[in-house]
Amino acid sequence: MGTITTSDGVEIHYKDWGSGQPIVFSHGWPLSADDWDGQMFFFLQHGFRVIAHDRRGHGRSGQPGEGHDMDHYADDLAELTAQLNLTGAIHVGHSTGGGEVVRYLARHGESRVAKAAIISAVPPLMVQTENNPGGLPKEVFDGFQAQLAANRARFYRELAEGPFYGFNRPGAESSEAIIQNWWRQGMMGDAKAHYDGIVAFSQTDFTEDLKKITVQVLVMHGDDDQIVPYADSAPRSAKLLKNATLQTYPGFPHGMPTTQAETINADLLAFLSA
């Protein structure tokens, strides 16, 4: 595990394994780089250099009181790629991490980037507005913040054992190990960062960011995603991107990189190797 210190003094922890073309993974809320273990081992064994960082306020990174917004997330990612002097990198983001990748590409350019993939990602915009009538009502996210503030440990347990992995669906085979690992990662982070992060992932509008991106982007999403509903996310992002491929997974949940790792890894490898 290495660290960098950002220009505003936040320590960012990251994993950096192997050599070859770099793949940079951006994790979802409220998790950490550990959520990518299944992908990092897979792509390491296929000759890639794999890198994943803990977002500010998450995992083992610093816990500043402020700066928990998409601009800071993207700037931290840009500082990491610059300090590691990455070129020809492939960026892969899950959920909030997909928003981080999109904002990074739009805000900092594509000079260091070869391709990108966004998985179960929050763009273009999650919250319901006059211009986004298919989004989720703001009251849903206000409820998330209220539950987090009241009892974060219980809230995280209920998310992991329920909608995040689709374990609440009839006939679903639940995994206590996956649930506990999700809860462990979430509780490592900072409650204030996670509270503010709900606003960041739900209210950030990525419409103009998506329009700026020219590299190839694979948009992967399950149509039974109970966290980031499919219809208002993946198809709309793919339409806004200049060079996108939309891959839809019938019945797959939000946390499909974990529960359906074999399928997701194979499709990512095919895209990256094409």
72 given a catalytic annotation = no
Considering the candidates 58, 68, 91, 254, report the single residue annotated as catalytic.
254
Q: Report the 10 Å Cβ neighbour count for 109.
A: 11
Spell out the residues 6+ positions from residue 49 whose beta carbon is closer than 8 angstroms to its own. 16, 17, 18, 19, 20, 21, 22, 23
The candidate with the shortest Cα–Cα distance to 224, out of 197, 177, 256, is: 256
Given 35, 75, 209, 225, which residue is catalytic?
Answer: 225
HSE-up (13 A, CA, CB side) for residue 231? 5
**Please, where are the H alpha helices in 1-137?**
37-45, 70-83, 96-108
Known catalytic residue at 95: yes
Per the annotation, the verdict on 237 as an active-site residue is no
Contact predicate 235/208, CB 8 Å: no
Distance between CA atoms of residues 121 and 102, nearest Å: 10
d(CA 176, CA 189): 21
Pick the catalytic residue from 26, 95, 202, 233.
95
By annotation, the residues acting in catalysis are 95, 225, 254
